[in-house]
Amino acid sequence: MALTDPSKRLEAMPPYKFAELERQISDKRAAGIDVISLGIGDPDMPTYAHVVQAMQAAVAENGNQKYPSNRGREEFRQAFSNFYGDRFGVEIDPDSEVIPAIGAKECIYNLCFAFLDPGDVALASDPGYPVYTGGPILAGAEAVLLPLKEELGFAPDLDAIDEQTAERARLLFLNYPNNPSGAIVPEGFFEKVVEFAKQNDILVVHDNAYSETTYDGYVAPSFLATPGAKEVGVEVFSLSKGYNMTGWRVGAILGNAEAIQTYWRLKTNVDSGLFESVQLAAVAALEGPQDTLEEMNAIYARRRDLVVDTLRAIGVDVASPKGTIYVWAPVPEGYTSTSFCEKVLEEAAVVVLSVA
């Protein structure tokens, strides 16, 4: 084995899809091609002014420049508790049921190391966020894909999971509103998830990245608002999309107190916590004016309508999503999603994302 050979776990990982996109875009632009990138969900509008101002004030304070606590500032935990109570009707104990996450990606990845051993299974939506499958592989476990069924409202068929897989499963990753389909959670599905998790002793991880990015009067629920959900699950809430804060890397994990304690135990050995100035900026986002989200969503809705109407006008059968910043479209006959995305990039210099 050579000095710089990667571990077997890393070798088992496919290249990270979004990193490959960055490379493709960089190569095209280096060749003088003006590339339009529609491949990664990164808001193009600035972070709201009151959030930036809070950060500017906080970063100048000497006390905020020291090592933070992995438990999070009291103001941070209380702000999330208040937000979940007001927004979702969910009671969150700020002392035991919420701690910061350095973005949802870090949180989901670390949950795999906190709860999975070799031989264990994580159930992951297909298609879905790559970390749902990459995290388990790096933790030495197995990711079992659950196809999202269009006839079920882009939900997985939990009844189709075989008994052996269910027995080995320790985590179930879900995400509504859904990336990449744009689907909203089907009525009654969260209730079914709670029942399934109780029957099989599985920790549910709901990635709540898009609850604040919705349209047409739809208001997305929290998984934790489902009766019994806190007994079997946690929710990862990210400020990235709704508050235009992708680069700030700030979110929180909320829900089952014992699961959060286990996650915190891992975190204390992995990182030194979330920069306190960023925590205070998150407080400003959650406690500040929320009409900025409505304005942002109005912009997204106009863009959605432009894309959907144009695709329909050329004969593409596509749904108009009520949530997320994605439009889920079929590719023409004779193409895979990957080959069609490559064709669009080469012939139109537009990056769209394949799920294959």
Give the model confidence (pLDDT) of 194-253 as tens digits: 999 999 999 999 999 999 999 999 999 999 999 999 999 999 999 999 999 999 999 999
The strand pairing partners of 172, in sequence order, are: 123, 204
Q: Are residues 139 and 218 in the same domain?
A: yes
CA atoms within 13 A on the CB side of 319: 14
The total number of structural domains in the chain stands at 2
**How do residues 274-289 score in pLDDT, each as one tens digit?**
999 999 999 999 999 9
- Supply 224's token pair: 């934790």
Q: Are residues 40 and 161 in the same domain?
A: no
Instruction: Supply the pLDDT for residue 41.
Output: 75
How is residue 103 annotated by DSSP?
S
Tell me the CATH number at 78. Answer: 3.40.640.10
**How do residues 290-341 score in pLDDT, each as one tens digit?**
999 999 999 999 999 999 999 999 999 999 999 999 999 888 888 888 888 8
Answer for the pair 98, 253: CB distance below 8 angstroms, yes or no. yes
- CB 216: neighbour CB atoms within 10 A? 11
- Rounded average pLDDT over 111-115: 97
Q: Are residues 195 and 314 in the same domain?
A: no
Answer for the pair 225, 89: CB distance below 8 angstroms, yes or no. yes
Answer for the pair 33, 349: CB distance below 8 angstroms, yes or no. yes
- Supply 233's token pair: 């699950």
Q: Are residues 166 and 213 in the same domain?
A: yes
* Final residue belonging to a domain, choices 258, 287, 316: 287
DSSP 16-68: PHHHHHHHHHHHHHHTT---EE-SS----SPPPHHHHHHHHHHHT-GGGGS--
- Rounded average pLDDT over 147-165: 94
Instruction: Supply the pLDDT for residue 173.
Output: 98
CA atoms within 13 A on the CB side of 136: 21
For residue 37, pLDDT over 90 is answered with no
Which of 172, 86, 63, 194 has its CA nearest to residue 126?
172
- Rounded average pLDDT over 246-275: 95
* Range(s) of the domain holding residue 83: 49-287
Q: Are residues 190 and 226 in the same domain?
A: yes
Instruction: Supply the pLDDT for residue 233.
Output: 98
- Rounded average pLDDT over 51-64: 95
Q: Please indicate, yes or no, if residue 3 is contained in any of the structural domains.
A: no
Q: Are residues 53 and 130 in the same domain?
A: yes
Which of 159, 166, 99, 154 has its CA nearest to residue 127?
154
Instruction: Supply the pLDDT for residue 20.
Output: 66
The set of residues, in sequence order, having a beta carbon less than 8 Å from that of 36 and lying 6+ positions away, is: 349, 350, 351
Q: What is the pTM of this model?
A: 0.92
Instruction: Supply the pLDDT for residue 16.
Output: 59
